[in-house]
Chains A and B, each alone.
Chain A
Amino acid sequence: VIGLATALFSAGLGAPAGDGSVEFLGFAREISRGWSASRDTPAMTMTIFARPGAMGGGELSFLAVRFPDFTLRNGFAGFIELEHDSETSRVNSGPMPSGDGKILWRGSYAYQAALALDTLGRRLCPDCALELALQYRHESQHYTGSNNGDSGLEDVSVQPYVGDAVLGDVASSQHVGSWYFAERLLGMWYLPERSSYDAGFGADLHARWLVLPRAHPFVSLYGEQRFGGELIGRHYPDAYRLRALLGIALPSWLGDVLVYASGDVGHRYGVRILTEEATLGLGVRLALGTTP
């Protein structure tokens, strides 16, 4: 990743600045991840139900270099997510949804490179896009102590540690009539001795109806399976997640405001990964990236 970043910087800084082939800050990908139903999507998010939660996050490219047939981007993705351990039960000042119990949180950062195959995508269909991406990602999970001095959570050292992983994905998008589709397949490889998991895979589908220019009804589906491994002499079970978002995307030149209802089945996140549950919820996300 560092080598690729160096090459990109070299190529970018050496190229003429005004010919449009080099862009510094920009979207991290040709096909945005911001619409994904995955809760690992790095984006500004407020979860109102089932549990109150908030995520500060995003992903952007440091540098994009456009070649005749493809575009290379390297960038950074990261988030910090707070989530109450209990269901939403009240509204705090702010206003923000809130609940009882401890606040769990997790943080993630990733360095990534994305290769958009522009020409190959257009060969598939005039509005098609095709993109490969590779990222080195870290995630750790924590919980807050009490402001009142009383004890925190129970011992959570038995919970899986997501740790460090290399993730690769391939994504495509296309227009079909007044519909826009984006699909993504993910492969996950967790570094030995750095995670409670060995490997995993996932699939992502986003479909939106473009019939109205200012409001796109959409549905996003996400599923993943992680295979548990051994870390420091402790063996961890597999984990899976299935999630669907159904809502309205309010588009702009920068991205979308997504207002959605969600349905989840599978393992929780953070220090509660060993808990399997099904939930229905409601949330709002500010997603970077636009539909072509």
Chain B
Amino acid sequence: MRRRVLPAPLVLSLAATGCIDALDQEQSTLGERTRDCVVPLPEGVEELGAPVSLEYPGKSLWLWSNAAAFVDQASALCSDGPDLFRDGDGAPTPLFALDSDELASNVARDDGRRLELVAVGGFSHEDTGYLFYEHRLQGPGFFDSELLGTGLCVLDPGEERCERLRRNASSVLWGPEQRFLNSGGVVVSERALVFGCRRVADFLRVCTMTGAPLDALTDPTSYQPYDYFHGWVDDPLAASVVIEELGSVTVSLARDGYLATTLDPFDGHVYVSLSEDLLSRQFSRRLDVFATPLPESGLAIGGREHSGLRDDPNELHVSYVTDRPGAAGLHLASFRFFGKFGGHFQ
């Protein structure tokens, strides 16, 4: 009988078995980034940080510590920069500022601390803006900051200065742990829903929801936290957690519900989460939308979403700041979801 041998290629293949060579790692995508521009600096301004914003139908009010501007076109913002509110001398003006008593008190202090008012977000209703701001004692060290409480400033239509509401002569309407209102809000049906996030442990920051009837938006006592089980309650620590994120959170209306947008401070990615019904369930797990270049400091800055700039429901506009060489400054990134995004909540 004639001896037969295994073909040489088979032998070689057997000898080389067990080999895996990675070639590529692809990604599925929710849409495409359509814009990522460095916002030009307006005249007389040397730097623009990450803005806080109030979202109006068809426009967005951007707020910095010493300046403010309405933005209604993403493309115009990228080509011309923001058209800042200015005083008679042409100097940029903020939406609100310390009053004379507060300024005098700051001058009189000798402990190295000073009162600052920090805008944190809000909502608009019938062309009126409702801006929440924090009273903070800053200093003496750079990172020393004590929250004294939260106030509300109302911007009437056509105005460039908002009116700080006062109660019993104080503009601190809510104590530091009384209500959490630092992450903007939306108007849904007969109520404004305001979101607030707070750090409860290392790497754990929870966000809750507080609501107020539309006919009592200037009444501090009308703002009540929401609990999935008991509805509107008085105890802020009884409020249900709607989302957990370490970065800034912006909630907006989406085609079939609500969209929460965040910029993760550690990886620089913009994520969105979805909710069909804010009154009955948390936001979904987050979906990775796009990446931004991390600053050289290592932590992403900004991340507010500006729903007022959307030309259609599938757009997402996010502002952020980076100091990366060649791209340093305030950025506006725009993203367009594929047509059926949000049609099904996962």
Please report A residues at the B interface, Cβ cutoff 8 Å: 48-51, 87-88, 155, 157-160, 196, 212, 217, 230, 232-237, 246-247, 261, 263, 265, 267, 274-282
Give the CA-CA distance A198 to B69 in the complex, in Å.
Answer: 46
Q: Are B20 and A233 in contact (CB under 8 A)?
A: no
| B285 surroundings in chain A (CB, below 8 A) | 155
Bound Cα distance from A230 to B283, whole angstroms: 23
* Residue in A closest to B4 when the chains form the complex, CB atoms: A212
- A-side contacts of B29, CB under 8 Å: 234-235
> What CA separation (Å) do A281 and B25 show in the bound complex?
21
- Is B9 engaged at the interface, CB distance under 8 Å to the other chain? yes
CB–CB A278/B21 < 8 A? yes
Closest chain-B Cβ to A151's Cβ sits at a distance in Å of 14
The answer, yes or no, to whether B346 is at the interface (CB within 8 Å) is yes
Whether A234 contacts B14 in the complex (CB less than 8 A), given A87-B20, A277-B20, comes out as no
For this complex, 5 residue pairs linking A to B, each with C-beta atoms less than 8 Å apart, are A50-B19, A233-B339, A261-B13, A276-B24, A276-B26
CB distance from A162 to the nearest CB of B (A): 13
Interface pair A233/B28, CB less than 8 Å apart? no
Query: With A230-B340, A261-B14 as given contacts, are A237 and B28 in contact (CB-CB < 8 Å)?
Result: yes
Whether the Cβ atoms of B23 and A50 lie closer than 8 Å is no
Bound CA–CA A212/B340 (angstroms): 58
Separation of A281 and B17 alpha carbons in the complex (Å): 5
Instruction: Say yes or no for B266: interface residue by CB 8 A criterion.
Output: no
Does B27 lie within 8 Å of A263, measured CB to CB? no
Q: Which residue of B lies closest to A215 (CB)?
A: B4
Given the complex of chains A and B, what is the CA–CA distance between A233 and B26 in angstroms?
17
In contact, B10 and A50 (Cβ under 8 angstroms): no
Nearest-neighbor residue (CB-CB) of B340 within chain A: A233
Beyond the given pairs A232-B346, A275-B26, 18 more chain A to chain B contacts, judged by CB atoms under 8 angstroms and listed by A's residue number, are A50-B18, A50-B19, A157-B346, A158-B28, A158-B288, A230-B339, A233-B341, A234-B338, A234-B341, A235-B30, A237-B26, A263-B13, A265-B23, A276-B25, A277-B21, A278-B21, A279-B20, A282-B17
Q: Helix, strand, loop or mixed for chain A's interface?
A: strand
Decide if A276 touches B27 in the complex (CB within 8 Å): no
CA distance in complex: A155, B284 (Å): 13
Task: Tell me if B90 counts as interface (CB < 8 A to partner A).
Answer: no
In the assembled complex, the CB of A124 is this many whole angstroms from the nearest CB of chain B, namely: 30
Closest to A51 in B: B20
* Contact indicator B17/A278 (Cβ below 8 Å): no
Q: Chain A residue with minimal CB distance to B11?
A: A261
A196 to B285, CA, bound (A): 20
Q: How far is the CB of B295 from chain A (nearest CB, A)?
A: 26
Chain A's nearest CB lies how many Å from the CB of B114? 45
CB within 8 Å of A: which B27-71 residues:
27-31
B342 interface contact, C-beta 8 A: yes
Q: A87 and B18 in contact (CB under 8 A), knowing A234-B28, A235-B338?
A: yes
Contact A280 B19, beta carbon cutoff 8 Å:
yes
Min CB–CB distance A245 → chain B (angstroms): 10
Residues of A within 8 A of B23 (CB): 265, 276-278
Interface flag for B7 (CB, 8 Å): yes
Tell me which residues across on chain A come within 8 A of B16, comparing CB atoms: 280
Q: Which residues of B contact A50 (CB under 8 A)?
A: 17-20
* B13 neighbours in A (Cβ, 8 Å): 246, 261, 263, 280
Cβ 8 A contact of B26, one of A87, A274, A279: A274
Query: Please, which residues of chain A bring their CB within 8 A of the CB of B343?
Result: 232-233
CB within 8 Å for A217 and B7 given contacts A263-B13, A277-B23: yes
Does B337 sit at the interface, judged by CB under 8 A? yes
Q: Which residues of A contact B109 (CB under 8 A)?
A: none
Within 8 A of A (CB), among B295-346: 337-344, 346
Closest A residue by C-beta to B314:
A233
A155 to B286, CA, bound (A): 10
User: Across the interface, which residues of B come within 8 angstroms of A280, CB to CB?
Assistant: 13, 16-19
Is residue B200 within 8 Å, beta carbon to beta carbon, of the partner chain?
Answer: no
Minimum C-beta distance from A53 to chain B (A): 13
B22 within 8 A of A: yes
Distance from B261 Cβ to chain A, minimum over Cβ atoms (Å): 15
Residues of chain A with a CB closer than 8 A to B7's CB? 217, 246
Residues of B within 8 A of A49 (CB): 17-18
CA of A230 to CA of B16, assembled, Å: 39
Interface contact B30-A233, CB-CB below 8 Å: yes
CA distance A233 to B340 in the complex (A): 4
Which residues of chain B come closer than 8 Å to A279, judged between CB atoms? 19-21
Q: How far is the CA of A157 from the CA of B288 in the complex (A)?
A: 11
By a CB distance below 8 angstroms, the chain A residues around B340 are 230, 232-233
Residues of B close to A237: CB separation below 8 A: 26-28
Chain B CB count within 10 A is highest, among A160, A265, A282, for A282
A190 to B341, CA, bound (A): 20
* Also in contact, A88 and B18, with CB within 8 A (given A196-B28, A274-B28): yes
Asked if B19 and A158 sit within 8 Å, CB to CB, the answer is no
Among all A-B residue pairs, the 8 with the closest Cβ atoms? A233-B341, A261-B13, A276-B24, A49-B18, A49-B17, A276-B23, A282-B17, A280-B19
Q: Let me know if B28 and A282 touch, CB within 8 A.
A: no
Knowing A49-B17, A275-B22, A279-B21, the reply to whether A261 touches B288 (Cβ < 8 A) is no
CB distance from B21 to the nearest CB of A (A): 4
Q: How far is the CA of A278 from the CA of B18 in the complex (A)?
A: 11
A158 touches B20 (CB 8 A): no
B17 to chain A: which residues have CB within 8 Å? Answer: 48-50, 261, 280-282
Shortest Cβ gap from B4 to chain A (Å): 7
Q: Is the CB of A282 within 8 A of B30?
A: no
Instruction: Select from chain A the residue with minimum beta-carbon distance to B344.
Output: A232
Query: Most chain-A CB neighbours within 10 Å: which of B13, B341, B343?
Result: B13
Task: Kindly identify which residue among A217, A233, A282 contacts B14, using a CB–CB cutoff of 8 Å.
Answer: A282
Contact flag A160-B28 (CB < 8 Å), given A233-B338, A233-B340, A247-B10: yes
